[in-house]
């Protein structure tokens, strides 16, 4: 671990970001160059004290999870992210494969969308990043580990994962998830990690085995879904998916499909996040 170089890199990247780039106000009385340390801590979900110690070269070796959170908070490019991992004494995440970080450009788009719920997904349905509006809508889905990272795995193995989806739409959503996974498997032929995910799902869920055997293939681009939110009730959302050129990551944007849903989303923004039952419910993110 190169503590001094890591400290310098983090400090300079923090100072290079304008608050508006990450959705923060940039008022006339602001004297700090770039982001404040407490703002980086808030965006990365860590303590201010740890950010200070990192920038002063006094920290212990940060974990790969913490480095990923810092890379997202500082909107690092792929090259900058890899450099961050090297300075911290870790191997960077693979450019391809299951474990990835949201691309810097997609993170900036999340910020620009403001109060419009949006999230970044891997091609296997792992939620890589969410904006605040999406966390309010669906809960925080970025902290799962193992196979639970994937929406399709939670959907078929955890009953609570289907709680936001009305019963009459669950078969349709299940088919869409399986068809999308089938398309990803086709694109990544020979990838042992992807094949392993499918094998574990087939072993764990009779419903998944049934749908997988039908060999339906579909990449989702646009959709309309109904959500039963625990705080504001029924929401009808239009979903648009923007895919990166290599089809490795997707930006999913959700907008209200009717006036009643718009009013309920506005109420949800007013209520805030304090009492949202964290990870008690789930919904297909794609």
Chain segment 175-198, per-residue pLDDT in tens: 999 998 988 888 877 788 888 899
255-284 average pLDDT score = 73
> Is the model more confident about 282 or about 77?
77
Q: What is the mean pLDDT of the chain?
A: 84
pLDDT of residue 94: 62
pLDDT of residue 277: 47
Please tell me the distance from the alpha carbon of residue 190 to that of residue 208, in angstroms, as a whole number: 21
68, 101 in Cβ contact below 8 A?
yes
Please tell me the distance from the alpha carbon of residue 167 to that of residue 103, in angstroms, as a whole number: 34
pLDDT of residue 172: 92
Confidence of residue 205 (pLDDT cuts 50, 70, 90): very high
Please give the angle made by the CA atoms of 96, 279 and 46, to the nearest 5 degrees: 70
pLDDT of residue 12: 87
> Is the model more confident about 24 or about 140?
140
pLDDT of residue 169: 92
161-173 average pLDDT score = 91
pLDDT of residue 278: 43
Please tell me the distance from the alpha carbon of residue 236 to that of residue 232, in angstroms, as a whole number: 12
Tokens of 112: 């620009």
pLDDT of residue 100: 62
Res 26 pLDDT > 80: no
Sign, Cα dihedral of 228, 230, 235, 239:
negative
pLDDT digits (tens, 9 = 90+) for 96-143: 443 467 887 888 888 888 889 999 998 888 898 888 889 889 888 887
pLDDT of residue 75: 82
Tokens of 4: 């001094």
Most confident of 3-17, 19-33, 236-250, 257-271: 257-271
């Amino acid at each position: 671990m190169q503590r001094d170089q890591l400290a310098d890199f983090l400090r300079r990247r923090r100072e290079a970001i304008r608050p508006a780039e990450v959705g923060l106000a940039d008022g006339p009385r602001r004297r700090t160059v770039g982001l404040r340390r407490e703002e980086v801590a808030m965006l990365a979900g860590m303590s201010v004290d740890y950010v200070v110690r990192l920038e002063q070269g006094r920290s212990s070796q940060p974990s790969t999870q913490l480095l990923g959170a810092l890379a997202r908070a500082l909107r690092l490019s792929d090259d900058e992210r890899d450099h961050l991992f090297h300075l911290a004494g870790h191997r960077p995440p693979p450019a391809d494969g299951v474990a990835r970080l949201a691309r810097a450009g997609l993170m900036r788009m999340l910020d620009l969308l403001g109060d419009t719920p949006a999230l970044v997904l891997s091609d296997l349905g792992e939620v890589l990043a969410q904006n605040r509006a999406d966390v309010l809508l669906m809960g925080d889905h970025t902290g799962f580990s193992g196979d639970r990272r994937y929406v399709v795995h939670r959907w078929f193995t955890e009953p609570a994962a289907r709680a936001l989806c009305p019963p009459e739409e669950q078969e349709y959503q299940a088919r869409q998830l399986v068809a999308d996974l089938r398309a990803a498997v086709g694109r990544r032929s020979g990838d042992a990690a992807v094949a392993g995910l499918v094998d574990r799902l087939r072993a764990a869920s009779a419903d998944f085995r049934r749908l997988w055997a039908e060999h339906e293939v579909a990449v989702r681009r646009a959709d309309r879904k109904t959500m039963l939110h625990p705080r504001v009730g029924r929401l009808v959302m239009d979903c648009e998916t923007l895919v990166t050129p290599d089809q490795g990551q997707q930006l999913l944007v959700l907008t209200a499909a009717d006036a009643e849903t718009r009013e309920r989303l506005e109420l949800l923004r007013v209520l805030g996040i304090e009492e949202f039952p964290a990870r008690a419910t789930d919904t297909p993110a794609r």
